[in-house]
Amino acid sequence: MKLSFSPEDERFREEVAQWLNDNLTGEFEKVRFRGGPGDEHMFQEERHAWEKKLAEGGWTCIGWPTEFGGRASSIEQQVIFNEEYARAGGPGRVGHIGEGLAGPTIIAFGSQEQKEKYLPGIVNGTELWCQGYSEPGAGSDLANVKTKARFDEEKGKWVINGQKVWTSLAHESDFCFVIARTDPDSVAHKGLGFFLVKMDQPGVEVRPIEQITGTSEFNEVFFDDAECDANDIVGEPGDGWKVAMGLLGFERGVSTLGQQMQFQNELNEVVRIAKENGAAQDPVIRQRIAQSHAELKIMRYNSMRMLSGQSGSDGSLQKEALIYKLFWATWHRSLGELAMDVMGPESQILDPGQYELNRLQSMYLFTRSDTIYGGTNQIQRNIIAERGLGMPKEPKITAKT
């Protein structure tokens, strides 16, 4: 064990800090600290321009192997990058689904051709991705997807029909990774395929869904004879579940580092307001702030420990990774409640405008969803108990087809 960074790493830190300091200025000044959880709808264009700027500096996908355009940065350096990024107020990354989920999945499971076709757009910040998993009948029971993919021999293409829902940022995305049934007679997690689908085509329709925040970060996506090329399926028909689950491993891995730093910024904001409005005098509030800080550190240390023990590059993590989603989601939800209690009576007053939530109000509302997306708290507990601890599974009821 060695809980410090090497001189080389510290030099890397200086380099990152310097670059951010030089570049997060001018036209990008206004996106500092923006676009985080609950704020994704803000400054989309400017943040996309920023993503390309980052790419020019070689600061996207830094953990990826160099052959795919990354820097092959060590875990330590990725940690440092994320720390400095948050400290500088780097905006929410529009490319995070591509960099954190689609890219690593393609690297782990994709063909050479797919790598060449899709990774450069992610690395250079031009192409954005969304995740087409959930459907009206397939939420927690993800394996119940009904969207179908049929191979059309004549066209030499996959033809996709069905509906996805809650698809975050679909309206901004160039591509969607879609789980669809390749074997129409299959049920549950057998007979699925994992497809890379272009959004800008006649067979894809995106309809925004209004959220309780009054904004629309997620969408319904309808596939009506949408097409993708014969080789836009990752793995073989029938491998879809394996690929989809591998991807969820990435969701709990390195991509959590940046998120924690955003959490730190939010907690700092809560503390600042508590000092300013006097809430910090309230002993109950003081204790909750201390608790929150302590738990954020727990998360931080735990994910360092989890990542330094990370096994393969196939997204599979140690067992301890299973607990991570439950912990951070629940922590963040409590932070939202703490923020509102710190704001006190002010917390119910909006900024001037058309239902303009202020930053902490959006955060409070958004954190209601943290314990839902990416596997609800209940499902996470089932996974911890059944897969982590080996407790008996609930009796299986076969999903209706």
Q: Which residues are catalytic?
A: 251
DSSP 35-91: S-TT-TTTTHHHHHHHHHHHHHTT-SSTTS-GGGT-----HHHHHHHHHHHHHTTPP
Nearer to ligand FAD, 161 or 382 (CB): 382
223 binds ligand FAD (CB under 6 A): no
Using CB under 8 A as the binding rule, whether residue 327 contacts other proteins is answered as no
Interface with ligand FAD: number of residues (CB under 6 A): 19
109 binds, among other proteins, ligand FAD, none (CB under 5 to 8 A by kind): none
Tokens 């200086």 belong to residue: 14
Q: How far is the CB of 197 from ligand FAD (least distance, A)?
A: 13
Q: Does 378 bind ligand FAD (CB under 6 A)?
A: yes
* Nearest Cα residue to 357 out of 170, 262, 217, 168: 217
Residue 1 vs 284, nearer CB to other proteins: 284
- What would the x/- binding string for other proteins be over residues 334 to 363, using CB under 8 A? ---x--xx--xxxxxxx-x--xxx---x--
User: What is the residue whose two structure tokens read 């809560």?
Assistant: 270
b/e map of 178-190 (b: 16 or more CB within 10 Å)? bbbbbeeeeebbe
Q: Which of residues 125-184 bind ligand FAD (CB under 6 A)?
A: 130-134, 139-140, 166-168
| Span from 115-123, 185-193, 308-316, 378-386 in contact with ligand FAD (CB under 6 A) | 378-386
**Terminal Cα distance for the chain, rounded:** 51
- Three-state DSSP state, 132: strand
Output the residue with the shortest Cβ distance to ligand FAD. Answer: 139
CB-based contacts of 202, cutoff 8 Å, min separation 6: none
* Interface pick for ligand FAD out of 379, 383, 384, 385 (rule CB under 6 A): 379
- Output 359 or 368, the one with its CB closest to other proteins: 368
Question: Does residue 253 contact residue 101 with C-beta atoms inside 8 Å?
Answer: no
CA distance 325 to 375: 8
Which pair of tokens denotes residue 3?
């809980």
139 touches other proteins by CB under 8 A: yes
397 binds, among ligand FAD, other proteins, none (CB under 5 to 8 A by kind): other proteins
Nearest Cα to Cα of residue 323 among 264, 382, 280, 365: 382
Element (H, E) at 212: none
Interaction of residue 369 with ligand FAD, rule CB under 6 A: yes
Which residues bind to other proteins, rule: CB under 8 A?
134, 137, 139-141, 144, 165-166, 209-212, 214, 218, 279, 282, 284-285, 333, 337, 340-341, 344-350, 352, 355-357, 361, 368-369, 371-373, 376-378, 381-382, 397-400
List residues near ligand FAD by CB under 6 A: 130-134, 139-140, 166-168, 218, 369, 372-374, 376, 378-379, 382
